[in-house]
Amino acid sequence: MRSSLSAGTKLALFAYNSCPSRIIRSPSDTLTLQDDLNSLGRWTQQKKLSFNPEKSVHIRLSRKPDRSIIPTYYLNGVNIPQAESTKYLGVHIDQSLSWKIHTGLVVVKANQRIRFLQSLFPRSCQRARITFFRSLVLPLLDYCAVAVNSCKKLLIDSLEGCVKRFLRTLNLGRIPDTSSDERYCHRLRQLGWQPLFLRRLKQSLMLAYKLIFNKIPLGDLLFQPYVFPVTAVSAVSGNTRQIGKIMDHPRAIPLHCQIFNGNGTPISASTRSFAHRVDRIWNHLPLPPEAYLTVDSFENSLESVQWTQLSCVKEYLPDRYLSFFA
């Protein structure tokens, strides 16, 4: 299928879903994309398959304030309807790449499940409520959290509000007579939980580790893979050990806030982007060299980090929840 597409047109496949895309720089790119759609239509006819154009969606992603007229695309002679947002693999993608719509829909769905748990289990069944919350609601709030991790505090608070609302339904004993945010942090510590923003921060660093050390496919498209500096060690006289190699301290990794496209060309990253945040936080992690040897050792080492002592991290942590670290 991909062999029938023009250079520059990407095709993402997942199960029975397909998503062709192309960067539109000139009117000729519009014609090229339509030709590729025609090629996909011919390919389906040869394979005796068919797309459903009526269930397909055409969305243009752009943050430019002055957008040109959106062209009309056809698949097998049927007009593909335009949309301002669409759901793709569980993530609601907005045409301006804003996470407001996605966050709002996640919050609505999470609150519906919380109300369902309240009606299903009485307050005396706290253990059941907690178990089902961690199974049904928390994965919803954590799903694709790295990709949709917004820096806007309003969206961060709306997600935290779901957990806060659920914790108020539990009887966890005496609660300090303080602000609602401090009481929320107190309840989290009682259950041994972490705030969502801290979970997202750790998930971002875990994803960065896998990308940098090439543990997952396509990592080199986002970051240049890290290669341990190698130093030869001379054998000591009388020692039977052969000349070996040691790894230098791997903490400082020059990400340079760059994202790489399919041609290997670096693209500058926004200060709000995943790459920029990881670049700043990663190089300030106070971890020993052995923490970077494996995925498990790196994940375990993150639990001992004093996040509030890192100035680059405090920029992304909401002030109202800093009492969690007290």
CA-based Rg of the chain, rounded to a whole angstrom? 25
Question: Each residue of 267-277: pLDDT tens digit?
Answer: 555 666 677 77
Residue 161 three-state SS: helix
Mean pLDDT over 304-322 rounds to: 79
Question: What is the pLDDT at residue 12?
Answer: 86
pTM reported for the whole predicted model: 0.77
Task: Report pLDDT for 53.
Answer: 77
Average pLDDT of the segment spanning 7-15: 86
Asked whether 259 and 275 are in contact (CB, 8 A), the reply is: yes
Length of the chain: 326
| Band of residue 17 on the pLDDT scale cut at 50, 70, 90 | confident
Gap between the Cα atoms of 314 and 51, Å rounded: 48
Strand, coil or helix: 9: strand
CA–chain centroid gap for 63, Å, is: 19
Query: Tokens 């791997």 map to which residue?
Result: 250
Residue with the bigger pLDDT between 61 and 232: it is 61
Taking the alpha carbons of 237, 241, 243, 246 in that order, is the dihedral positive or negative?
Answer: negative
Contacts of 96 (CB under 8 A, 6+ apart): 61, 62, 63
Instruction: For residue 52, give both structure tokens.
Output: 């459903």
> pLDDT tens across 111-161, in order?
999 999 999 998 888 999 999 999 999 999 988 777 666 667 788 888 899
Judge whether 118 and 169 are in contact, CB under 8 Å.
yes
What confidence tier does 250 reach under pLDDT thresholds 50, 70, 90? very low
**CA 87 – CA 325 distance, rounded (Å):** 36
Q: Is the pLDDT of residue 241 over 50?
A: no
228 touches 167 (CB < 8 A) = no
Give the type of residue at 214.
N
Euclidean distance between CA atoms 252 and 219, whole angstroms:
18
pLDDT at residue 257 above 50? no
Residue 97 amino acid letter: L
- Give SS3 for 26: coil
Write the Ramachandran bin of 223: left for phi over 0, alpha for psi from -120 to 50, otherwise beta. beta
- Looking at the predicted structure, is the pLDDT value of residue 305 above 50? yes
- Quick one: which H or E segment has residue 233? strand 230-233
- Of 15-19, 171-175, 191-195, 260-264, the range with the lowest mean pLDDT is 260-264
What stretch of H or E contains 246? strand 244-247
Q: Is the pLDDT of residue 312 over 80?
A: no
Mean pLDDT of 49-75: 83
Of 56, 6, 55, which Cα lies nearest the Cα of 31?
Answer: 6
Query: Which helix (H) or strand (E) element contains residue 316?
Result: none
Per-residue model confidence (pLDDT) at position 164: 93
Q: Please tell me the predicted confidence (pLDDT) of residue 244.
A: 31
Between 29 and 242, the higher pLDDT residue? 29
List the domain boundaries for the chain: 2-89, 100-193, 201-224+250-317
